[in-house]
Chains A and B, each alone.
Chain A
Amino acid sequence: MQVFLLRRSLGFLATLFAVSVIVFLVMNVLPGDPAVTILGIDSTEDARAALRAELGLDRPLWQRYGAWVWDAVRGDFGTSYFFRVPVSELIAERLPLTLPLAAFGMLATVTLGVTLGIIAAAQHGRPGDWAIMLLSQLGIAIPAFWLSILLVLLFAVKLRWLPPGGFPGWDDPVLALRSLILPTAALALVQSAVLARVTRSSALEVMRLDFVRTARATGLAPRRILGRHILPNALVPIVTIVGMQVAGVVTGTIVIENVFYLPGLGRLVFQSIANRDLFTVQALVVLFAAIVVTANFLVDIAYVLIDPRLKGRLA
């Protein structure tokens, strides 16, 4: 077990390292001169030289990488060239929006996906199953941003129940939550479609196993068999998908924030691209990638905690 954890942790750190190298190379080396990227091709050589000196771009590549990683580990992501404030401040400012949005999105995705999947499995071959499968097929094909637009058209433009976009801040929690309803729904409806399918097939697989028959022979009610015996076993493979869906939800927030004009990290990325704020984008991309990698790492660990058989094998 300890060996397993140690190996996974080392692999996790290696992946994080590789991610940082890739991001650094793509953003600093491939384009040639970051000073030109930031200032534009019509900038003067003097201005570029001044910027290089200011940002330390005149140092050798490995030194720049080393400094960047060393600073990032200590929570310093450099200074935004456009906003002239530390990037970490920009992130801290917007995290209170993006984090709850991602968390709500994930929560709603798992709740909706697993519930629908289990219902479909319990209804296997009957109309309920068909309806859920049809909906999920549709959900997989719907672009999240288009679903967002439809939701806005219906609930904001037509019915005027909810705000079409924007975020009033957490001063008034009710208003804040109201403005997160549609974005959360857009995230979850699309993501839960995949989860519902996986849950269904996983549950159907488990239903065929012998211990379900044992549970029936013990006189347990179908509801209890479903909840206490089938569901926990079906969840084992679902956990992997949930890990992957963290990636979907995280990048989903980037898209959704732009659809709903929510001033979060995703919005910041796009502002920074428009502002040619290269190093802010770099910091954010690494941050997003790190979240995805971390989620998958945690899922690997969770797997072992859920399934005692794995724990035994790794001991």
Chain B
Amino acid sequence: MIRRAPVNLWIGGALVAMMTAIALLSLVWTPYDHTLLDIPAKFAAPSAEHWLGTDQLGRDVVSLLMAASVNSLTVAFVAVGLGGAIGTLLGLAASAWGGWVEAIVMRLVDLGFAFPALLFAIMLAAAFGPSLSNAILAIAFINIPVFARVARGAANQIWTRDFVLAGQAAGMGRAALTRDHILPNIAAPIIVQATIEFAVAILAEAALSYLGLGAQPPMPSWGRMLSEAQTLMYLAPELAIYPGLCIILAVLGFGLLGDGLRDVTDPRLARTRA
């Protein structure tokens, strides 16, 4: 059977590559300094100087969007990395030791699903004041149960394989087996899940920043740009368009990439789609 790389993999991959390139570029170059205020030039229409015009403080919109992409991707990266690492470890432990370890982990996982990211961010904001790091913690937290579940499910399958049984027979401990055999073999589903959760995290960061629970001024963020634009809806409706498009492209990119990777790495799923 010849397996074609699915369309969503290509589109998603291209979008993600573009987003990453823009974010990296913005670290060394943006058309303007995105913090540069130019009040007289506020609400400028798109032009050769300002491709998408300027905002209410005369800042260049393209530069703002570019700088904000760094924020989005960083938050997603840190939050998914943190939550993914903890969750994967928990899932691996549950699978390796079973018994009460597994029981406790799975109970915690169930519990984790009771708290959507927003609720967690609200708690942290009320206790510590709103900040980007609290938003990251909240997004990381909701990733823990997701990854714990995926890692446990994938690891449980590997534990029944011959090479693991052989290792067990050879006297390898559960921790060593997990490190040497289980972890490398569940990398594919973990990476697929991480890609999908990346999309979720970008969406969550945007929502939290929009609500004032994430990036604080003057840090550029798509979500915050939208909340500012909303107050100027009658004056400059187009300012409410661009950041939203950026969010959609980023979320769509990672979502499609994740779906595509899953199609490629999980033949079982690919077959049911055929």
Contacts and interface: CB of A to CB of B under 8 A. Distances in A.
A and B touch in the complex (CB under 8 A): yes
Interface residues of A, number: 49
Contacts of A146: 206, 226, 240, 243-244, 247-248
A254 B211 CA distance: 10
A251 interface: yes
Contacts of A278: 126-127
B119 A285 contact: yes
A19 B111 contact: yes
A143 B116 contact: no
Contacts of A301: none
Interface in A1-51: 15, 18-19, 22-23, 26-27, 30-31, 37
Interface stretch (B55-63, B155-163, B229-237): B229-237
Nearest to A274: B212
A305 interface: no
A141 B252 contact: yes
B240 A31 contact: no
Contacts of A281: 122-123, 126
Contact of A254 (B118, B124, B199): B118
Interface in A258-315: 258-259, 269-270, 272-273, 276, 278, 281-282, 284-285, 288-289, 292-293, 296
A181 interface: no
Contacts of A293: 114
Interface string A235-262: 0000000001001101100110011000
Given A138-B248, A270-B212, A149 B233 contact: yes
Contacts of B194: none
Interface residues of B, number: 42
Contacts of B107: 18
Interface in B202-223: 203, 206-207, 210-213, 223
B251 interface: yes
Contacts of A250: 116
A26 B127 CA distance: 7
A301 to B, nearest CB: 16
Contact of A255 (B125, B211, B234): B211
A38 B251 CA distance: 37
Given A141-B248, A141-B251, A269-B122, A292 B116 contact: yes
B210 A145 contact: yes
Given A30-B127, A251-B116, A157 B237 contact: yes
Contacts of A273: 122, 125-126, 130, 213
B33 interface: no
Contact of A26 (B124, B207, B234): B124
A23 B114 CA distance: 11
Contact of A289 (B110, B115, B211, B240): B115
Contacts of B123: 23, 26-27, 281-282, 285
A131 interface: no
* Residue from A143, A153, A251 with most neighbouring chain B CB atoms (10 Å): A143
A99 interface: no
A142 B202 CA distance: 11
A23 B122 CA distance: 11
A278 B243 CA distance: 32
B128 interface: yes
Contact of B244 (A15, A18, A19, A143): A143
Please indicate which of the listed interface residues B115, B203, B210 has the most CB atoms of chain A within 10 Å of its own CB.
Answer: B115
Interface in B174-228: 199, 203, 206-207, 210-213, 223, 226
B255 A141 contact: yes
Contacts of A176: none
A91 interface: no
A189 interface: no
Contact of B127 (A37, A255, A258): A37
Interface string B92-123: 00000000000000010011011110110011
A175 interface: no
A152 interface: yes
A259 B118 CA distance: 15
Contacts of A296: 113-114
A266 B102 CA distance: 36
A18 B108 CA distance: 9
List of 8 A-B pairs having minimum Cβ-Cβ separation, nearest first: A146-B244, A281-B126, A141-B251, A31-B127, A141-B252, A251-B116, A251-B118, A293-B114
23 contacts: A15-B110, A18-B107, A23-B123, A37-B126, A138-B248, A140-B251, A143-B203, A143-B223, A143-B248, A143-B251, A144-B207, A146-B247, A146-B248, A153-B240, A250-B116, A251-B116, A255-B210, A270-B212, A272-B126, A273-B126, A282-B123, A285-B119, A289-B115
Given A150-B244, A273-B213, 14 more contacts: A30-B128, A31-B127, A138-B248, A141-B255, A146-B206, A146-B243, A146-B244, A149-B230, A149-B233, A153-B240, A247-B113, A254-B118, A273-B122, A293-B114
